[in-house]
Chains A and B, each alone.
Chain A
């Protein structure tokens, strides 16, 4: 009897509907997706190839110098960067490293470009906050693999769908922290800025964003780390890089190769994390 009650409504075709919807979008917007796939893909290849064309020793030195100055002239991060990057080179993973780095760099930049303005909008409007917050929750809790499916439908395989999936997965922290950072600016400072007759944009750029900078940077740091993790997952849809090495090691049950590529990802993650965190600490 009770079971009958639950079965009263037949299965709602959510999966079918989503599939249909995705197909329609793919059809209707192919005029948009196709050129993005082509031009953006070319651009990504260009960045990746340019990075690979630079002699590794120069990149290692540049990263070391950057790490040295950004960590306040301490040696720890510098030495770690040199040894770590050399190790990746030594293991023959340099090209993969450059691909992974390109993906992380581009997708993080896009996340920031998209995320910060959305965060500002949220901080200024309660309605916007009420609408966007659940969307962000959804974006972050949905298993990351799921984004790969429409990404392939829209953009085929390769770097571009990897960026797309990463954007969805990695943008929320930047949006949230931007919103939080601006809302946390003390009301007295906002009042001070208004009392002197600031316009809305003067208030935003001269007071709120500078005050929220540290919080926004913390969000960006998280976005970059999430982008890195997504870029690894995106190897499943053909994104090149260290992730693909891990994936192929998994498929061949090759513990050694898997471990080495994994260590490579860890090294990259640590360097990126420490560098972005220290960017934050600088006043």
Chain B
């Protein structure tokens, strides 16, 4: 059973929503309806379902109805028509008390401008969701602290939000949402107010957190990059309607209509895709454990002419070639230190494809992908070309 399931969910703002819905049935456009009836169509018959543990991104330009849609999911906005099920319970027909229960136990929301209470400390902010459920003070402080530590803000408990940077404030927003231990996280343009570097950092962190916490996440964004990075599946919205739902690759490769195609054609793949999207798992030898003999053996197994060398902590030390290793074995050299080469071509895992191209063109061996000196993958020439051509294995969304 899906965790969130929307069926024909609609919202019309204005005095005569039923009439507007009828016009929609007859195929009138959003503009026509606004002109003739003065009603604004927010969301038009949106149907989708989100499975447990999935990051479902709703993407659209401003005015496409995505923010309205997310507010229909926790009924901050009353739907005009349609149903919305959370764990099989229909939210649309629920009385206020049950709605509060569902909001408290199952849904948490993270806001674009953080929505933090400025007069409360960071800890008190994170406690809010539990406080209103009358959870005893000690218990709720404990949970709030855990949530804050999870997002790396364990040391800021007694500061006020205004003393923190934007990125840190949104971490508080995230911690506040997590402190309730909800099933579903609703993130409304959660990272849009942050500058690009911090935004990327937060995206990575969300993905990191997600590997351990496995929440169901409904993520709203207007940024295609972000949608591609985060989404397991993406729903594209236009004028209040969902025009396509699919995995990032499906949307890039098989746009459902002209609108989607136009949307994604501007995506310069060489800028969107980064090293980590096209890297392969590295074959390595550990210089602290292995000698030339093992290295040679492994190169033979994998059919490689060279191999990267790391220490036990996976810090990249250099590379060795098959020729050198074979020479060393003949000379009975016991360790790899002596034949290690240091002129490694390496890139950070965030490096975009267009920058990798030059490096890999000049390099006789694969490019090493590193994160803080640790080897996390390798890139071979073919992978870059395949990715640029829009073909081949592209591991989008997997950091």
User: What residue in chain A is nearest B101 (Cβ atoms)?
Assistant: A197
Contacts of B317 in A (CB 8 A): none
User: Judging by beta carbons under 8 Å apart, are B119 and A195 in contact?
Assistant: no
Contacts of B133 in A (CB 8 A): 197
Contact flags B96-132 to A (C-beta < 8 A → 1, else 0) = 0001111110011101111111110000000011011
CB distance from B101 to the nearest CB of A (A): 7
CB distance from A254 to the nearest CB of B (A): 52
* Cα distance, A199 to B111, chains bound together (Å): 20
Contacts of B284 in A (CB 8 A): none
User: Judging by beta carbons under 8 Å apart, are A196 and B108 in contact?
Assistant: yes
CB distance from B97 to the nearest CB of A (A): 9
Name which of A193, A198, A199, A207 has the most chain B CB atoms within 10 A of its CB. A198
CB distance from A194 to the nearest CB of B (A): 6
* Cα distance, A207 to B100, chains bound together (Å): 17
CB distance from B87 to the nearest CB of A (A): 16
* Cα distance, A133 to B76, chains bound together (Å): 29
Asked if B74 is an interface residue, CB under 8 A from chain A, the answer is yes
User: What residue in chain B is nearest A203 (Cβ atoms)?
Assistant: B132
User: Judging by beta carbons under 8 Å apart, are B103 and A188 in contact?
Assistant: no
CB distance from A279 to the nearest CB of B (A): 15
Q: Give residues of chain A (42-66) contacting chain B, Cβ–Cβ below 8 Å.
A: none
* Cα distance, A193 to B115, chains bound together (Å): 9
Asked if A202 is an interface residue, CB under 8 A from chain B, the answer is yes
Asked if B180 is an interface residue, CB under 8 A from chain A, the answer is yes
Secondary structure class of chain A's binding surface, majority of residues = helix
CB distance from B117 to the nearest CB of A (A): 6
* Cα distance, A213 to B132, chains bound together (Å): 20
Asked if A192 is an interface residue, CB under 8 A from chain B, the answer is yes
User: Judging by beta carbons under 8 Å apart, are B111 and A196 in contact?
Assistant: no
Contacts of A213 in B (CB 8 A): 119
Contacts of B186 in A (CB 8 A): 195
User: Judging by beta carbons under 8 Å apart, are A206 and B128 in contact?
Assistant: yes
Given A191-B115, A206-B132, A207-B117, CB of A197 within 8 Å of CB of B109? no
CB distance from B17 to the nearest CB of A (A): 19
User: Judging by beta carbons under 8 Å apart, are B132 and A195 in contact?
Assistant: no
Name which of A188, A196, A202 has the most chain B CB atoms within 10 A of its CB. A196
CB distance from A109 to the nearest CB of B (A): 24
Asked if A117 is an interface residue, CB under 8 A from chain B, the answer is no
User: What residue in chain B is nearest A195 (Cβ atoms)?
Assistant: B109
User: Judging by beta carbons under 8 Å apart, are A192 and B131 in contact?
Assistant: no
Asked if A247 is an interface residue, CB under 8 A from chain B, the answer is no
User: Judging by beta carbons under 8 Å apart, are B100 and A192 in contact?
Assistant: no
Given A196-B103, A197-B132, A206-B132, CB of A191 within 8 Å of CB of B117? no
Contacts of A250 in B (CB 8 A): none
Asked if A149 is an interface residue, CB under 8 A from chain B, the answer is no
Asked if A35 is an interface residue, CB under 8 A from chain B, the answer is no
Task: Count CB-based A-B contacts (< 8 Å).
Answer: 64
User: What residue in chain B is nearest A194 (Cβ atoms)?
Assistant: B76
Contact flags B66-110 to A (C-beta < 8 A → 1, else 0) = 000001001010000000000000000000000111111001110
User: What residue in chain A is nearest B133 (Cβ atoms)?
Assistant: A197
Q: Which of B102, B107, B109, B180 contacts A192 (CB 8 A)?
A: B109
Q: Which of B102, B112, B114, B132 contacts A202 (CB 8 A)?
A: B132
* Cα distance, A199 to B99, chains bound together (Å): 11
* Cα distance, A113 to B119, chains bound together (Å): 24
Contacts of B74 in A (CB 8 A): 195
Name which of B71, B128, B133 has the most chain A CB atoms within 10 A of its CB. B128
User: What residue in chain B is nearest A200 (Cβ atoms)?
Assistant: B96
User: Judging by beta carbons under 8 Å apart, are B103 and A195 in contact?
Assistant: yes
* Cα distance, A195 to B100, chains bound together (Å): 8
User: What residue in chain B is nearest A202 (Cβ atoms)?
Assistant: B132
Given A188-B115, A191-B111, A192-B115, CB of A197 within 8 Å of CB of B100? yes
* Cα distance, A191 to B117, chains bound together (Å): 12
User: What residue in chain A is nearest B100 (Cβ atoms)?
Assistant: A197
Contacts of B129 in A (CB 8 A): 196-197
* Cα distance, A100 to B114, chains bound together (Å): 48
Q: Give residues of chain A (158-184) contacting chain B, Cβ–Cβ below 8 Å.
A: none
CB distance from B197 to the nearest CB of A (A): 24
CB distance from A175 to the nearest CB of B (A): 23
Contact flags B125-143 to A (C-beta < 8 A → 1, else 0) = 0001101110000000000
Contacts of A210 in B (CB 8 A): 117, 119
User: Judging by beta carbons under 8 Å apart, are A197 and B103 in contact?
Assistant: yes
Contacts of A194 in B (CB 8 A): 76, 103
Asked if A128 is an interface residue, CB under 8 A from chain B, the answer is no
CB-defined A-B contacts under 8 Å, sample of 5: A191-B111, A195-B108, A195-B186, A196-B108, A196-B176
Q: Which 10 residue pairs across A and B have the least CB separation, nearest first? A: A197-B104, A197-B103, A192-B115, A195-B109, A196-B129, A197-B100, A188-B115, A210-B119, A202-B132, A198-B132
| Extra contacts besides A188-B111, A199-B132, A213-B119 (6): CB < 8 Å | A192-B115, A192-B116, A195-B76, A195-B107, A195-B109, A197-B103
